[in-house]
Amino acid sequence: MKVKIQIVISGVITSLLISFSSGALARTYVYEATCGQSYSKQGEQEEDLTTMKGKSISCNSAILSFLDNGHVIFQVGEKKGQLTPLGFSGIGLDYDTSPNFATLPLDKVYLPHYTEPGTPEDVNGVEGFCFFDGKLNVRALHDVSCVAKIEFGTQRLVYHVDVKILGLGQAVPDP
């Protein structure tokens, strides 16, 4: 239980520190979750990543934060992990493009790392989306899928995260 609380607190701290550094307050929800067939792949720009085996991504919790400046951050993490949560961020949700999903166009990914949660390692200029089932009842989410592509010089990194939410989200009280 202590480790579970540690990853959730780490993710919430990271979310709140990101929101405070951007001058915005957050409404944050924490969920029990699994990441199923989630993976990351990295290779040279000219490589066909669809033929490569990906590195598995696992999670036991998810965090969704709505910042007052319009940004939305979705994070996944492992209860027993020592890494900061993997996070996906964008400006505003699109409720109109799909009749079945709320869509978050991504502009930033927060990379998992071992340093302090208060020092996020992020990458801007990301291509990708997160899809939230239904029209986003934040307490009763069921499925979230995020796909992001990051290019670093000659390297390309792809994240594909499919999250199954296991129960109602818990609102995190304002600090």
State how many domains the chain has.
Answer: 1
3-state class percentages of the chain: helix first, strand second, coil last, to nearest 5: 15, 45, 40
Output the pLDDT for position 17: 38
How far apart CA 146 and CA 87 sit, in angstroms, is 10
Read off the tokens for 145: 């899928």
Contact 74, 88 (CB under 8 A): yes
Domain ranges, residue 154: 2-172
Going residue by residue through the chain (175 aa), what tens digit of pLDDT does each one get?
333 334 444 444 444 434 334 444 679 999 999 998 999 999 998 888 888 889 999 999 999 999 999 999 999 998 777 778 899 999 989 988 888 889 999 999 998 887 766 677 888 989 999 999 976 787 788 999 999 999 988 999 999 999 999 988 899 887 6
CB burial readout 60-84, b (16+ within 10 A) else e: bbbbbbbbeeebbbbbbbbbebeeb
Residue 117: both structure tokens together: 């949660």
* Residue 97, pLDDT score: 87
The secondary structure of 30-94 as a DSSP string is EEEEE-TT-EEEEEETTS-GGGSPPEE---SEEEEEEETTSEEEEEEE-TT--SPPEEEEEES-B
CATH classification of the domain holding 109: 2.40.160
What confidence score (pLDDT) does residue 142 get? 92
